[in-house]
Amino acid sequence: MSRLGTLGARLYRGEVGYDFVAKRKIWYGISILITITAIVGLAVRGLNMGIEFSGGAIFNTDKTSVSAEAAKQTAQQASGHTAVVQKTGEGKLRIQVSELSPEQSRTTQQALAKKLDVSPDKINTDIVGPSWGDEIANKAWMGLAIFMLLVVIYLAIAFEWRMAIAALVALIHDLTITVGIYALVGFEVTPGTVIGLLTILGYSLYDTVVVFDGLKESAKDITKQTRFTYSEIANRSLNGTLVRSINTTVVALLPVAGLLFIGGGFLGAGMLNDISLALFVGLAAGAYSSIFIATPLVADLKERDPQMKALTRRVEAKRAARSAKADPSQDEQEPVDEEPQDAPPAGVVGQRRQSESRKGKRR
């Protein structure tokens, strides 16, 4: 078995572990700091909405010797807006300009035709109205709200309402961070971005539900024992699934990283950036929230229950009694007979000593 597999087995059995739940205030502080940074970036820079949401025009040219940079400058001078130019193969160009009126679109088309030395009819122009983008945005928000509602209802029925609240907070945390990074990076928001955001919700929820399922099984009849508090059982369940969560996250991140850094960066496939960035950031944030946010938050909410408070008091009282019993300064000193020098050490089961007479008879 590999070292990682051995570590996972020891984590599952509770032989080793890290106390994530006890240090939850640290994780809460880190998450709040990251979330505030994302919100500030979103408020200051805003989202770079694509043409599908803001409206505008897309110009597709035939094969041309004009460079993409020259076509970009011509489109920006004619329209007065920022242009995005992509090579689509065989020397063709795709020029996208947002927030254009029909009159501005015709002016830009004519300027591009003059620069490319072709007839305006040779430049295929698609005009996108902002109302279509508003419709897409409204449907996306509606889909997100329905998804959140169904998640809360399902988790409340399958587990309990505290876990449903914790999972909802983790999902909102992941979405806020992803959208904030989108604003800071300045990537264009397209329908692919919306698809990526909706996709990461499932990945984020997957790791959380795996931990919650283990916690539900471990916490059965928890009030009938006095060995562990609820927070300690939650931490053991989290450690038991830690290696599994890391493995699934890394395996999922590798192909997405290929899309983002190789496809979008080296190969210049800019359209891949829309969905790959949302997936990459969302997967990483989802793995983080399932470990550092969701489970500690469940423990926080559960420890407020009167039964869990009573359990914590019983566990602490039992541990205090054991500690006092183990402390020789708190017990009366009693004479202890010394063991024979050849007696086996305490706690070791060895062969019984036979009397000398029986040994003589055997001889």
Residue 214 maps to which CATH number? 1.20.1640.10
Check if the beta carbon of residue 18 is closer than 8 Å to that of residue 239: yes
Structural domain that includes position 114: 56-128
Same structural domain, 158 and 263:
yes
User: What is the pLDDT at residue 10?
Assistant: 64
Same structural domain, 295 and 163:
yes
User: What is the pLDDT at residue 158?
Assistant: 87
Same structural domain, 110 and 8:
no
Q: If you search the block for the tokens 């283990």, which residue do you land on?
A: 214
Residue 86: phi and psi, rounded to 5, are -130, 145
Predicted model pTM: 0.72
* Count of C-beta atoms within a 10 Å radius of residue 316: 12
pLDDT above 80: residue 353: no
Average pLDDT over residues 294-305: 91
Question: What CATH number does the domain containing 86 carry?
Answer: 3.30.70
pLDDT above 90: residue 297: yes
Give the model confidence (pLDDT) of 247-282 as tens digits: 888 888 888 888 777 765 555 555 567 788 888 888
Give the model confidence (pLDDT) of 65-100 as tens digits: 888 888 888 888 888 887 878 777 677 888 888 777
Average pLDDT over residues 41-70: 82
Between strands 124-128 and 83-89, the pairing is unpaired
100 is a domain residue? yes
Total tally of structural domains belonging to the chain: 2
Residue 166's nearest CA partner among 285, 293, 57 is: 293
For CA atoms 149, 297, 239, 217, the dihedral sign is negative
* Count of C-beta atoms within a 10 Å radius of residue 11: 20
Residue 35's nearest CA partner among 169, 147, 201 is: 169
User: What is the pLDDT at residue 130?
Assistant: 66
Q: What rounded mean pLDDT belongs to the chain?
A: 78
Token couple for 195 = 């698809």
356 is a domain residue? no
Average pLDDT over residues 34-55: 84
